[in-house]
Amino acid sequence: MNNTYYGKLIFELSKEGRRGYSLPANPWAAHHTPIPAHLQRTTPAALPEADEQTVARHYTNMSNNNFGVDTGFYPLGSCTMKYNPKINEEVAALPGFTQPHPAAGDANLQGALRLYYETGRILSELTGLAEFTINPYAGAHGELTGLMVIRAYHRSRGDVQRTKIIVPDSAHGTNPASAAVAGLKIVQVKSTPEGTVDLDSLRSVLGPDIAGMMMTNPNTLGIFETHIPEIARMVHECGGLMYYDGANFNPILGVCRPGDMGFDVMHINLHKTFSTPHGGGGPGSGPVGVRSGLEQFLPNPRVLRRDDGTFTMAECPEALGRISSWLGNFGIIVRAYAYLLTLGREHVGQVGRLAVLGANYIKECLKDCYKLPIDGLCKHEFVFDGLRPEYGGEHSDPAHVTTLDVAKRLLDFGFHAPTIYFPLLFHESLMIEPTETESKETLDTFIATLRQIAEEAKADPAMVKAAPHHTPIRRPDDVLAVKAGKFVYQPEA
């Protein structure tokens, strides 16, 4: 598409003197006190000048360049880009939730406090953990909070030598990052060829300096760690706690519970599993749950239920402090609550099952074209390692079609690309997570498109390597954009 407006900044559409409106002369001008001369501009502000229609087309065209779950299939692995039901938005916009001030006092906040409390109770039921805080703002923030709980627990027992945390090599990058921010040293354990934690590697690092272990299950390869009871036993025997990265709780929602697997502390991403729109760093929520005996360390403020059934926002003395202002991103909690009540106990268990079915369906339909390094049942997502050699996926040949090329070519067909080059265990990772909200027709079209791209890679690799052909911007220089980004409009001289 190419027209007057497309791909232009509003400054580039500006015409000197062009106006959207003309106003009548101000009959009261004579009565105004003029702005003192020393405060007045000497040169006019560099503002764009445009008529209303140009402004309307400019912003409408820009909004059409957005891609989101509401425009198309978004199989971004590890991100759970599921459809976000619109009723959640309506409920979150109710004035009773948007207008109260958090300092209004318990008596004026009973509805909001009850919603927070009940969301925590539902999360406890779904995870098998005793209590939740919903104050953290994101998954990584939840990780930090959970690790601070683990540190507070060891410190409360005078066990100050536990300064190391075990993180498998398949972990999400936020795990080692949060651990470092929490002041813990990272000890890596290897994965087996089957993609699960290597028990011998784990045994070799256990000791009195281990604060705990962070795990994702199913892990970032989409594989369920079947040795989890054994792993939890080993870590507990050495005095550490088990941390569950539940950002991707989707595949096991309503099917099994981290608390039953032996985890002591976990976080959940409301903005993945519990259907809050996310992307672009928008508001999130990373609730943290703990097993019984660790509640007192959860951050302030906490929402407690009094014996008379009313709710109070409480400050607890043993808490690790505050990690957010008040009760976190409250609107996100409202969305999650609406989502949970919409599904109800009787339907919540379908989420994980359908997410797993969709992922396995895509994997099985495409594994003759794309390299599947770890075969077998996956959970909500899986990882291809680029194209199979018959389709030109040969790492040593510079003319071969890479995962980046496949991802770029998908854009031509109106799909969002899967996650690429993560996890780091393979050279050409292409990580696909369809979520439970996509129809079979959508999955079939996606499968047919990826098959077509594999055929194209064989027949005309140069064409695939030049993709995308139909997007407004084709292959930006990602490194240059990061290192020398232009964030301010500079008019051409």
Binding footprint of ligand PLP on the chain (CB under 6 A): 78, 138-140, 172, 174, 216, 220, 245, 247-248, 269, 284, 286
The terminus-to-terminus CA distance of the chain in angstroms comes to: 28
How far apart (Å, rounded) are the C-alpha atoms in residues 479 and 473? 15
What residues have CB less than 8 Å from 310, skipping those under 6 apart? 106, 110
Alpha helices for 243-387 (secondary structure H) = 258-261, 330-366
At residue 187, the 3 state secondary structure works out as: strand
The least CB distance from residue 51 to ligand PLP, in Å, is 41
* Least separation in angstroms between CB 282 and ligand PLP: 10
CB of 491 to ligand PLP, least distance (A): 37
Q: Report, in Å, the least distance between residue 244 CB and ligand PLP.
A: 10
> Among residues 250 and 403, whose Cβ is nearest to ligand PLP?
250
Q: Which of 254, 193, 261, 252 is CA-nearest to residue 227?
A: 261
When the beta carbons of 249 and 413 are compared against ligand PLP, the nearer one is 249
CB of 91 to ligand PLP, least distance (A): 22
Nearest distance in Å: CB 433, ligand PLP: 9
For 44, the token pair is 């006019």
CB of 336 to ligand PLP, least distance (A): 13
DSSP for residue 244: E
Scanning 193-326, the segments in alpha helix (DSSP H) are 199-205, 228-237, 258-261
Of all residues in the shown chain, the one whose CB is closest to ligand PLP is: 139
Q: Closer CB to ligand PLP, residue 162 or residue 271?
A: 271
Nearest alpha carbon to residue 86 among 244, 308, 276 = 276
399 token code pair: 């003319």
DSSP conformational letter for 426? S
Nearer to ligand PLP, 220 or 402 (CB): 220
What six digits make up the tokens of 1? Answer: 């598409």
Shorter beta-carbon distance to ligand PLP: residue 171 or 407: 171
Nearest in space to 8 (alpha carbons), one of 45, 71, 50, 44: 50
Tell me the C-alpha distance between 438 and 435, whole Å.
7
Strand order from edge to edge, sheet including 429-432: 382-385, 429-432, 419-420
- Minimum CB distance to ligand PLP, residue 77 (Å): 9
- What is the rounded CA–CA span in Å between residue 443 and residue 116? 36
Residue with Cβ nearer ligand PLP (177 or 256): 177
- Between 145 and 402, CB nearer to ligand PLP: 145
Quick one: 247 or 343, whose CB is closer to ligand PLP?
A: 247
Nearest residue (CB) to ligand PLP, 78 versus 127:
78
Residues 6+ apart with CB under 8 A from 156: 297, 318
Q: Are 243 and 212 in contact (CB under 8 A)?
A: yes
**Chain centroid offset of residue 116 CA:** 21
CB of 286 within 8 A of CB of 140? yes
Q: How far is the CB of 457 from ligand PLP (least distance, A)?
A: 29
Cα dihedral 406/390/398/170 (nearest 10): 60
* Cβ closest to ligand PLP, residue 248 vs residue 437: 248
Rounded Cα–Cα distance for residues 94 and 410 (Å): 39
Min. distance of Cβ 163 from ligand PLP in angstroms? 22
> How many whole angstroms from its chain centre is CA 195?
23
Cβ at position 136, least distance to ligand PLP in Å = 9
Using the minimum distance from each CB to ligand PLP, give the nearer residue, 78 or 437.
78
CB 268 within 8 A of CB 254: no
110-127 vs 330-366: helix crossing angle, rounded to 10:
30
